[in-house]
Amino acid sequence: MQRSPTIIALGGSVIIPDKINADFLKKFRKLILKLLKQGQKFVIVAGGGKTARLYQNAASKVIKITYEDLDWLGIHATRINAHLLRTIFFKEACPIILDNPYKPFHTGKPIIIASGWRPGWSTDYISIVLAKRFGAKEVIIAGKPPYVYTKDFMKYKNAKPLKKIDWKSYRKIIGSRWIPGMPSPVDPIGAKLAQKLKLKVIIIKGTNLKNLENLLKGKKFKGTIIE
């Protein structure tokens, strides 16, 4: 039986916190190449990060912009970030960026790079759709927050990290409405689908590569399990 690939949603805030984090990308590439030699395969979904916010903020200062157009700016930011990832894995990755999670394609490469698709959700949702497509039982979301918190940890000092939470409780924290750029670890639309699929999602801090390696090797790690 063929092993399902590991699905990683790599947050745009990790790829581009303020500028392109080339040092991180170099270390991330080294880790993934090491794991490829051990037989692992990956689907890596790129987030939009600072690039998305720059375009969204600029457009919003000029005109009143719809959520749909904010999403499209974010989607195109994920696509340029996806091309960046495909370039640094040019020998190992499928040359086609998966910009539609339902797009038919064939590849013998061990890495698939994906991006945003349509308005109405974030790349978290895309990662969950791809987990269903490729038969993966879990998704790793490696972004800015190291855990799911009881409330927005960037705003509230009394926000408490959670090591484990069920989907019903998680969805009560984040609500049901998608707003472009919202800081939820898993967007509301993705969370709804993950609950329906009974999928496990693991939230970790993307820049902590040792922690990511521990997770990918089945060792003890720091983060939140949602299931």
CA 150 from centroid of its chain's CA atoms: 20
pLDDT in tens, 12-41: 999 999 899 999 999 999 999 999 999 999
Type of residue numbered 154: M
Domain that holds residue 142: 6-226
Shortest CA distance to 75 belongs to which of 36, 29, 114? 114
- Asked if the model's pLDDT at residue 2 lies above 70, the reply is no
Task: Report if residue 23 sits inside a domain.
Answer: yes
Taking the model in full, what pTM does it have? 0.95
What CATH number does the domain containing 50 carry? 3.40.1160.10
* Contact (CB, 8 A) for 202 and 138: yes
Q: Is residue 62 part of a domain?
A: yes
pLDDT in tens, 49-61: 899 999 999 999 9
| Domain-embedded: residue 221 | yes
pLDDT at 3: 78
Contact 29, 60 (CB under 8 A): no
Q: How many domains does the chain have?
A: 1
Name beta bridge partners: 112.
Answer: 43
Assess if residue 39 is contained within a domain.
yes
Position 125 in a domain:
yes
Query: What tens digit of pLDDT does each residue of 179-213 get?
Result: 998 888 999 999 999 999 999 999 999 999 999 99
Residues counted in the chain: 227
Residue 56 sits at φ, ψ, to 5 deg, of: -65, -45
Rg (alpha carbons) of the chain, rounded to whole number = 17
